[in-house]
Amino acid sequence: MKLYGAIASPYVARVVMYAKLKGIDLPLADAPGGNIKSPEYLKLNPIGKMPTLEVDGQGIGESTIICDYLEDAYPQKSGLPEKPIDRARSRLVGRITDLYLAQHVGPLFRQMNPAKRDAAAVEAAGKEITKAFGYLEQVMGPGPFCVGATPTFGDCALGPTTAMTRKIIAAGGFDIPDPVASGRLATWWKAMEGNATCAEVLNAYGTAFDGFMKAMAARR
């Protein structure tokens, strides 16, 4: 079993965190053919995005589906809460992250240069990002993690994307509130930073993402 991708991707970091929490040794490997658009990689994952998990020559794309696979294949230590209702809430955190948060963070990458900035686009993205964190706050349980006292799938999905959101807001100096400054999300973030496995992956992700942002700035 091999996981292809770079830790600078929040979707790759999601799978890495999930595998670590489940006690699965899953080191990152270089994409077959040298990159994620190579014919060899596209044979495994026609979407041409990272991550891809290769299992016995077959490719599985999409970070959430990879986590589902790991859960099915390695059920011994679950990465989901025990009760069905809590499992649903943990998964819902991941779904909200993908559908209502991440899609509004992406456009901010195109607004990093203040001289060429579209203020209306930044304002619209900021409103949606704040709304998404509001949804997340409401679906999270008492915690301190998304659902319960230990990290589960929802934390793996939301953690790296929150780190990315905060880093972009800071790097761009955007007038968007820090999503984890107060309330339930602040408690959650503190729990994430205080958990050895989550913190290790968040730190690796953060360092790699900073490098990516520097490279992007040098190209501007």
Ligand X SMILES: N[C@@H](CCC(=O)N[C@@H](CS)C(=O)NCC(=O)O)C(=O)O
Residues that bind ligand X (CB under 6 A): 9, 11, 36, 48-51, 62-64
CB of 48 to ligand X, least distance (A): 6
In order, the DSSP letters of 55-93 are ETTEEEESHHHHHHHHHHH-TTS-SS-SSHHHHHHHHHH
Residue 220, classed as helix, strand or coil, is coil
Our CB check for ligand X shows the closer of 11 and 189 to be 11
Our CB check for ligand X shows the closer of 64 and 195 to be 64
What CA–CA distances, in Å, run from 212 to 38, 109, 136, 139, 172? 21, 11, 27, 32, 14
Task: Give Cα 139 to chain centroid, integer Å.
Answer: 18
Our CB check for ligand X shows the closer of 67 and 191 to be 67
Our CB check for ligand X shows the closer of 78 and 103 to be 103
Our CB check for ligand X shows the closer of 36 and 125 to be 36
d(CA 67, CA 158): 14
CB of 142 to ligand X, least distance (A): 28
Our CB check for ligand X shows the closer of 84 and 219 to be 219
d(CA 86, CA 92): 10
d(CA 106, CA 122): 11
d(CA 42, CA 5): 13
Percentage helix, strand, coil, to 5, in the chain? 65, 5, 30
CB of 83 to ligand X, least distance (A): 25
